[in-house]
Chain A
Amino acid sequence: MFLHQIKYEWLQLSRDKWVSTLLIIFIALCLFAANNGSKKVALRQAEVEASLAVMRAADSDFKANIDSVERGLKTVEPWLNPRRLNFIGNRAPRVAAMQPAPLAFLSTGQSDLFTHTIKPTLYGESYVLSFGELSNPVQLMFGSFDLAFVLIYLLPLLVLAFSYNLLSSEKEQGSLRLTLAQPVSLFAWLFNKMILRFFIMTTIVTTSLILALVIAGIPIVEVFSSVLLIVALVTLYIFFWFTVSLIVNAFGRSSGTNAITIISFWVILVLLLPAAISQLANSLYPVPSRINMIHEMRIAKSDAEKVADTILSSYYRDHPELAQRDTTIQNQYQFYLGYFASQDVVKKSVAPVLEEYQTKLSAQQQFVESFRFISPSLLLQNALNDVAGTSSRHYDSYRSQVVAFAEEWRAYFLPRMFNNEWMTKTDFERLPTFTFHYGQVDSTSSADIVGLLVFAVLTFVISSLVYRNISRKVLIT
């Protein structure tokens, strides 16, 4: 019976030219989106590569220069001497790059807001590094046409187009009376109709995704578990929308009314609810004020600068390990050491302001993110950004990893400067390097998938309850 029904449904669907047109449009949109995504990722990758290439070229110049100066072939102004550690620490910064994650093309996420190549220098203050990317805000406002957009916004519409008249069309054609005269459960019969469409949709979406991955040149085997995760997420999302449609169908209205009701659901769940949640969460718990932070930071800075000039001696008191071992010669870095010492004083008073801000901000962001469990679209968005490595959490982590690296950079040079050493060619191999660790970012995808599962199960249970309590008479008349 089941197979029989499926077979005839399939025949019916395959002869409908609307169905094939919609599916082809959807696949085309997926590929266009995937292409957009990969172009963005390629640009990001190229930017990182270019920065690294510039750095390497500069490194070999510095090495050559050090060689010439060491051999006395060349004389340079003392403040341009590449053998000086402070010169290298400041002029030969490492590129702290955030390489795109393998599946970054899936979702632009927050990646258009932040820069991916930071070069912390020795003189710079790690806590005020700017992570903003230069961009046209209109571009940011309109957002990008990526796979995440197609899956979150357009996929539900496709599902709805497939199912809005699941029951009503049978009713309008008069075939419902005939069917209900047979000994079949209405829900089981409708569910079968739905399941077939669900399988078609899932197959099409999975195929499009795999096609997109192949076109984007991503080795699927290496990211197999992530691909499985995405397929699972999308499948749940499709299932959720089908059951929503099933519930709407149960009320036995005309196809036209169903379509409007379902579209309204889409508008509410995909457009209004996320916007309202974002607004609500941010007004319940506002983002801490940057403006106040700037003010506090400036007060702290001006207070600290007043005392900063008198402190090199107290710096030695705090860091006896840094005192020069050979005390018979004058330290060539005397001036810079004083500068670093005073910088530390300023940092000690300014950094807490920023740290406090960052803590408050993280708490606020966590609060806002927890609201995603109200909407399946938000859950899917969060999960996709998570897999793509473009979520807010990834950029938070990038910030803290870079700040830690900036400290490491300083820690490499400072003790050697206190010891009055020179930079040598071979030291370049020993310079600290930065690699962004995606592993340090906690993944939320399991929570997201559970959230989506709850939504899917919930709507499924509701739909079966609705159909159990529905009177057949209401449906037929």
Chain B
Amino acid sequence: MIRTIAFKELKELLREGRFRVMAFVMVALLVVAAVISKNYYQWVNNQHVTAKENARNVWVSQDNKNPHSAAHYGTYAFKPKYSLSLIDQGVDKYAGISIYLEAHRRNDAQYMAAQDQTAISRFGDLTPDFILLFIIPLFIILTGFNSFTSERENGTLRLLKSQGVSSRILTGGKWLGLFIAVLLVIIPGFILSVLLLGNVQDFGEFSIGALAILFLFYLLYYAVFTNITLVVSAWAKKSNIALVSLLAIWMVACLGMPKVANRIAESMSPYPTQSQFVAAVQEDERKGLDGHNPFSAEAKQLEQETLKKYNVDSVQQLPFNWDGYLMQKGEEHTAEIYFKHHEQLKTTYENQTSVYRVASVLSPYLPTRFLSMALCRTDYASHWHFSNAAEKYRIMMMDKLNMHFAENSTYGDWDYLADKSLWKDIPDFTYEPVTYSQILSSNLNNIGVLIAWLVTTSLMLMVSVKKMSIL
């Protein structure tokens, strides 16, 4: 019986010109978005490959120079793009693409794409995630808003009821009919993305499993919207009212809530501005890490300790160059300061994230948005992960350079030049992204909220269909 109703619903939809046009537009949009994203992805990737090679070449082809000069000259770490970013660009546009690795400073990623684009780009880009997250729910609403209301308006609901169709079966049939209609649009999109992704040369592995999980999350999201659409359609007296209410829900969930959550997150735990952040770091550098041991005093103390340890009376007698050693200690000290401030920043960011989690209770869009970005490795957490890896590399690099200086030169010998073979001894920067299992386990909340949405709206659907008036 469910199957009969679902089949009838689907057949009716497919005969309807409006549905056919919309479905065609959806598929066309997905194809266009995917092709554009693929081109963009390849363009960025090619740049990335050259940039990575260039950065390494520039580094290793330095002449003989003082290791500390090389440390100041530094090198760049470039953030890789992964193949799934083709589907969801996430926050990529708003996070920098490269980190300058130099002595004494932890730099943030520079050159976010949004800064180089005009305000037009703030409307969003025509990428698959835009279609998947905003437009398809709208498509579900426009297709299904009159599922029950039109039956009521035509008087067929009364007929159905008189034939003894249970509300459970009626709901099941309607639900399946609408959901299969959505699948007709989504499945070609999915197949297309598998083909496109299979064709793309990438750095990371392309995991069909991750794509399947992503697909599953989107299906959950669409199931939630299908539920909401049917709930409202069962509740509303007229199709017009159902449509207006559903649009209002869509507006709140997809456009309003994220912005309102932004406002709350910002007022509850504001991000420091760039100049505040820099000032706080400088303040700590000036007065020492804990605020009670100024660096110069600490240096004196370190000198005494080192002299005692090596049992000599002056730094000239140490078996290594004291300048290099002291510089390394200083580097470790500033790295700690940067670590402390980035941890504070991370706390702020986590507080903001928890605001979005709370707001997810009012918007199924939010958990899906975060899950989708996370799986495509284009979320903020991925950016942090990269930034931390780059910092780790920077610390290692500075350690090698300073210790080489300390061990191969004598005190006061600032004219010391390291052989250019040293540059090659420092390994190239390689980056291992977060694994999918880590991604999933750190997003359990989002998965939970999405499932809760599905369960709640399903319950609401059952109740509202039972209570539905047939007139």
* A interface list, Cβ under 8 A from B: 36, 39, 43, 47, 51, 54, 109-110, 113-115, 117, 119, 130-145, 149, 153-154, 157, 161, 165, 255-257, 259-260, 263-264, 267, 271-272, 274-279, 281-283, 286-287, 289-292, 294-295, 298-299, 301-302, 305-306, 361, 365, 368-369, 371-372, 377-378, 381-382, 385, 391-392
A137 cross-chain contacts in B, Cβ below 8 A: 91, 94-95, 112, 380, 383
A51 cross-chain contacts in B, Cβ below 8 A: 275
A54 to B279, CA, bound (A): 11
Contact indicator A263/B247 (Cβ below 8 Å): yes
Contact indicator A267/B240 (Cβ below 8 Å): no
Contact indicator B135/A267 (Cβ below 8 Å): yes
Contact indicator B123/A381 (Cβ below 8 Å): yes
**Closest Cβ of chain A: how far from B114's Cβ, in Å?**
6
Check A260/B97 contact, CB under 8 A, given A138-B356, A139-B262, A302-B58.
no
Contact among B134, B240, B352 with A255 in the assembled complex (CB-CB below 8 Å): B240
A344 to B125, CA, bound (A): 41
**Closest Cβ of chain A: how far from B98's Cβ, in Å?**
6
Contact indicator A132/B263 (Cβ below 8 Å): no
| Residue among B29, B94, B146 with most chain A CB within 10 A | B94
Contact indicator B352/A138 (Cβ below 8 Å): yes
> 14 new A-B pairs (CB below 8 Å) besides A109-B119, A115-B273?
A136-B265, A136-B271, A141-B93, A141-B94, A165-B240, A256-B239, A264-B142, A278-B117, A278-B126, A281-B120, A292-B47, A361-B116, A368-B120, A392-B119
The B89-145 residues at the A interface (CB cut-off 8 A) are: 90-91, 93-98, 108, 110-127, 130, 134-135, 138, 142
Contact among B39, B47, B240, B275 with A256 in the assembled complex (CB-CB below 8 Å): B240
A291 cross-chain contacts in B, Cβ below 8 A: 47-48, 50-51, 78, 97-98
Contact indicator A290/B261 (Cβ below 8 Å): no
Instruction: State whether the Cβ of B266 lies closer than 8 Å to any Cβ in chain A.
Output: yes
**Closest Cβ of chain A: how far from B141's Cβ, in Å?**
9
Which residue on chain B has the smallest CB distance to residue A47? Answer: B273
Contact indicator A274/B274 (Cβ below 8 Å): no
A305 to B70, CA, bound (A): 12
Which residue on chain B has the smallest CB distance to residue A289? Answer: B47
Which residue on chain B has the smallest CB distance to residue A18? Answer: B244
Check A371/B120 contact, CB under 8 A, given A287-B113, A291-B98, A295-B58.
yes
| Residue among A113, A137, A157, A377 with most chain B CB within 10 A | A137
Check A135/B135 contact, CB under 8 A, given A145-B263, A287-B116, A372-B120.
no
Instruction: State whether the Cβ of B55 lies closer than 8 Å to any Cβ in chain A.
Output: yes
Check A260/B142 contact, CB under 8 A, given A140-B114, A282-B121.
yes
Contact indicator B18/A260 (Cβ below 8 Å): yes
Contact indicator B123/A278 (Cβ below 8 Å): yes
**Closest Cβ of chain B: how far from A450's Cβ, in Å?**
18
Instruction: State whether the Cβ of B349 lies closer than 8 Å to any Cβ in chain A.
Output: yes
B36 cross-chain contacts in A, Cβ below 8 A: 279, 283
**Closest Cβ of chain B: how far from A29's Cβ, in Å?**
9
12 contacts between A and B (CB under 8 A): A47-B273, A130-B274, A136-B265, A139-B266, A143-B122, A153-B255, A271-B135, A274-B120, A275-B123, A281-B120, A282-B117, A291-B48
Instruction: State whether the Cβ of B299 lies closer than 8 Å to any Cβ in chain A.
Output: no
**Closest Cβ of chain B: how far from A5's Cβ, in Å?**
24
Contact among A133, A145, A157 with B260 in the assembled complex (CB-CB below 8 Å): A145
* B interface list, Cβ under 8 A from A: 18, 22, 29, 36, 39-40, 43, 47-48, 50-51, 54-55, 58, 62-63, 73, 76, 78, 90-91, 93-98, 108, 110-127, 130, 134-135, 138, 142, 146, 239-240, 243-244, 247, 251, 255-256, 258-263, 265-267, 270-277, 279, 345, 348-349, 352-353, 356, 379-380, 383
Nearest first, the 10 A-B pairs at minimum CB distance are A137-B94, A274-B123, A137-B91, A145-B259, A142-B258, A140-B94, A291-B51, A290-B111, A275-B126, A134-B274
A441 to B356, CA, bound (A): 37
| Residue among B29, B113, B125, B353 with most chain A CB within 10 A | B125
Check A144/B275 contact, CB under 8 A, given A271-B135, A287-B113.
no
| Residue among A292, A298, A299 with most chain B CB within 10 A | A298
| Residue among A255, A257, A278, A378 with most chain B CB within 10 A | A278
A431 to B117, CA, bound (A): 35
Contact indicator B262/A142 (Cβ below 8 Å): yes
Contact indicator A294/B76 (Cβ below 8 Å): yes
| Residue among B58, B122, B279, B353 with most chain A CB within 10 A | B122
Contact indicator B119/A134 (Cβ below 8 Å): no
Check A278/B120 contact, CB under 8 A, given A132-B115, A141-B94.
yes
Which residue on chain B has the smallest CB distance to residue A305? Answer: B73
A257 cross-chain contacts in B, Cβ below 8 A: 18
**Closest Cβ of chain B: how far from A311's Cβ, in Å?**
17
Contact indicator B244/A295 (Cβ below 8 Å): no
**Closest Cβ of chain B: how far from A107's Cβ, in Å?**
9
Contact indicator A144/B120 (Cβ below 8 Å): no
A115 cross-chain contacts in B, Cβ below 8 A: 273-275
Which residue on chain A has the smallest CB distance to residue B256? Answer: A145
A109 cross-chain contacts in B, Cβ below 8 A: 119, 122
Contact among A134, A272, A290 with B97 in the assembled complex (CB-CB below 8 Å): A290
A132 to B43, CA, bound (A): 24
B126 cross-chain contacts in A, Cβ below 8 A: 272, 275-276, 278-279
Which residue on chain A has the smallest CB distance to residue B63? Answer: A306
Check A277/B120 contact, CB under 8 A, given A51-B275, A136-B271, A143-B262.
yes
**Closest Cβ of chain A: how far from B97's Cβ, in Å?**
7
A139 to B260, CA, bound (A): 10
Contact among B90, B98, B115 with A294 in the assembled complex (CB-CB below 8 Å): B98
Check A260/B262 contact, CB under 8 A, given A140-B114, A157-B251.
no
A294 to B119, CA, bound (A): 24
A371 to B117, CA, bound (A): 13
Which residue on chain B has the smallest CB distance to residue A33? Answer: B259
Which residue on chain B has the smallest CB distance to residue A287? Answer: B116
Contact indicator A140/B91 (Cβ below 8 Å): yes
A27 to B274, CA, bound (A): 35
Contact indicator A138/B120 (Cβ below 8 Å): no
A363 to B110, CA, bound (A): 22
Contact indicator A134/B273 (Cβ below 8 Å): yes
A368 cross-chain contacts in B, Cβ below 8 A: 117-118, 120
B123 cross-chain contacts in A, Cβ below 8 A: 271, 274-275, 278, 377-378, 381
Contact indicator B91/A138 (Cβ below 8 Å): yes
Which residue on chain B has the smallest CB distance to residue A395? Answer: B115
Which residue on chain B has the smallest CB distance to residue A260? Answer: B142
**Closest Cβ of chain A: how far from B265's Cβ, in Å?**
7
Contact among B251, B277, B380 with A136 in the assembled complex (CB-CB below 8 Å): B380
Contact indicator B274/A36 (Cβ below 8 Å): no
Contact indicator A142/B247 (Cβ below 8 Å): no
**Closest Cβ of chain A: how far from B236's Cβ, in Å?**
12
Contact indicator A294/B51 (Cβ below 8 Å): yes
Contact indicator B134/A260 (Cβ below 8 Å): no
**Closest Cβ of chain A: how far from B278's Cβ, in Å?**
9
Which residue on chain B has the smallest CB distance to residue A108? Answer: B122
A206 to B91, CA, bound (A): 36
Which residue on chain A has the smallest CB distance to residue B238? Answer: A256
**Closest Cβ of chain B: how far from A120's Cβ, in Å?**
13
A378 to B120, CA, bound (A): 7
Contact indicator A302/B274 (Cβ below 8 Å): no
A110 to B122, CA, bound (A): 9
| Residue among A141, A291, A298 with most chain B CB within 10 A | A141
Which residue on chain B has the smallest CB distance to residue A259? Answer: B243
Contact indicator B120/A113 (Cβ below 8 Å): no
Contact indicator B108/A279 (Cβ below 8 Å): no
Contact indicator B118/A392 (Cβ below 8 Å): yes
B146 cross-chain contacts in A, Cβ below 8 A: 256
Which residue on chain B has the smallest CB distance to residue A119? Answer: B275
B91 cross-chain contacts in A, Cβ below 8 A: 137-138, 140-141
A286 to B58, CA, bound (A): 26
Contact indicator A132/B120 (Cβ below 8 Å): no
Which residue on chain A has the smallest CB distance to residue B150? Answer: A256
Contact indicator B273/A132 (Cβ below 8 Å): no
